Amino acid sequence: MLAFGLAVILGISLSKFIMKIVRFQLLLAIIGFIFLVPILIEYLNLSEDWKTHNDAIEDARFTSKPNIYFIQPDGYIGTSEIKKGHYMIDNYKFDTILQNKGFKVYPDFRSNYFSTLSSNSAIFSMKHHFYNSLADTDSEMLRARKNILGHNTVLSVLHQNNYKTHAILESPYLMVSRPKLYLKTCNIDYRDVSYLSNGFDLKKNVLENLKTQILDNKEGHHFYFIEKMLPGHIANLKSNSKGKEKERLQYLEKLDAANTWLKDIIALIQDNDNNALIIIAADHGGFVGFEYSSDAHIKTDKLSDLNSVFSTLLAIKWTGDSTAYDDTLKSSVNLFRVVFSFLSEDKTLLDDLEENSSYLTIDNGAPVGIYKVLNKNGKACFEKH
């Protein structure tokens, strides 16, 4: 009642100034529009030249065509970092399970970018994008979802080799900007995704959806992009963080859940497809050691901090001897180039590998910008892009 009374009094006393208030609001709108115009121009003229390849990778022809399962557990830290640094986790049993099931584990593998959208944009385009040269730490990469689920090099090569491509997602996070899907099928329909969705208000049973697809797709060649939001990473913001140690312990719990899920999905695939090429590749690390993940935008030269961001799990169940192709497989931007080289039996496709360096947008401790923070050898550095 007090607030209502004050509102009435203020309304009466300020009513004679209404035109001045309206003019002031109009001035603010004009100022806002002036700043909006260059942003719109930049967005509309955003170049996609970075996606162009210098060789004939898009014309690759496979000599073998197994079904390909690209499984992406979100935020799963790499096997070399998990037992040291900020993690100190004994994950030996799970590593042994992978190896016993025929997987080759890559201990020093890393992502080139720090987030799901920026990392997957590089993976599916098979090229460095450098965040489109926009050093905005408060937002994600522009058009990233289009790079992932829309037209991209990976899907283009697969389609040319007569693969039917499928997305099986746990949540619609990669779909909220509603890109035109270049995949043949997706387990989530846009009709079920709200225009105001944050990408996590819908949850699908990935195992059940994959099982249905496998049973339905007995004929032809198939590629499955399977995303699971486990183990995830620590809290994004300071306001949501429970502190470094509690965030670490919570990550460990989710890691156990991720291991159980991975064992189940591997069993499902191998029980129904005995010649599958299975790729388990995380998008980025778990950020353990930071109080919250946004702290990663602060300049640091600590390798344990950087590895916590970029070190990622990679394990591949090849369908033959991969030793002639995968000795250069160090980072996610080159993942599918190596896979396609193996399937094509064409080593010349490895002559145009991207540099295995990793990049961060920095806004604290150095001028705002995009910086190379891990060089091609996985050593800490700090070079402005």
Tell me the C-alpha to C-alpha distance, in Å, between residue 62 and each of 104, 147, 162, 224, 349: 21, 23, 10, 17, 12
Confidence of residue 192 (pLDDT cuts 50, 70, 90): very high
Nearest to 282 by CA among 113, 152, 167: 113
The reported pLDDT for the residue numbered 38 is 84
Report the length, in residues, of the chain: 385
Residue 139: pLDDT band with limits 50, 70, 90:
low
- Give the model confidence (pLDDT) of 63-78 as tens digits: 999 999 999 999 999 9
| Beta strands, E only, the chain | 68-73, 104-105, 163-169, 185-186, 221-228, 277-281, 314-317, 358-362, 369-374, 380-384
CA 85 to CA 83: how far, in whole Å? 7
Position 137 scores a pLDDT of 67
Task: Give the separation between CA 163 and CA 227, rounded to whole angstroms.
Answer: 19
Band (pLDDT 50/70/90 cuts) for residue 309 is very high
At residue 45, the pLDDT reads: 83
3-state DSSP call for residue 43? helix
Q: How far apart are CA 53 and CA 188, in angstroms?
A: 31
Across residues 130-136, what is the average pLDDT? 84
Residue 8: what residue type?
Answer: V
**pLDDT of amino acid 257:** 96
Q: How many other C-beta atoms can be found within 10 angstroms of the C-beta atom of residue 289?
A: 21
Share of the chain above pLDDT 90, in %: 84
346-373 b/e (C-beta count within 10 Å ≥ 16 → b): beebbeebbebbbbbbbbeeeeeebbbb
pLDDT band of residue 19 (cuts 50, 70, 90) is confident
Give Dmax over CA atoms of the chain in angstroms. Answer: 83
Percent of the chain whose predicted confidence (pLDDT) is above 70: 99
Position 29 pLDDT exceeds 90: yes
Give the separation between CA 1 and CA 75, rounded to whole angstroms: 50
Here the tokens at position 158 are: 């697969």
Yes or no: domain 65-355 corresponds to CATH 3.40.720.10: yes
Would you call 148 exposed, middle or buried from its count of C-beta atoms within 10 A (0-12, 13-18, 19+)? buried
Q: How far apart are CA 346 and CA 205, in angstroms?
A: 38
Per-residue pLDDT band for 16 (boundaries 50, 70, 90) equals confident
- The string of pLDDT tens digits covering residues 1-15 is 999 999 988 888 888
pLDDT in tens, 148-183: 999 999 999 999 999 999 999 999 999 999 999 999
> What residues form DSSP beta bridges with 362?
369
pLDDT tens string 336-368? 999 999 999 999 999 999 999 999 999 999 999
Domain chopping of the chain, boundaries: 65-355
pTM of the model as a whole: 0.90
Give the mean pLDDT of 258-268: 97
**Rounded to whole angstroms, how far apart are CA atoms 133 and 308?**
24
208-225: average pLDDT: 96
What CA–CA distance (Å, rounded) separates 145 from 150? Answer: 7
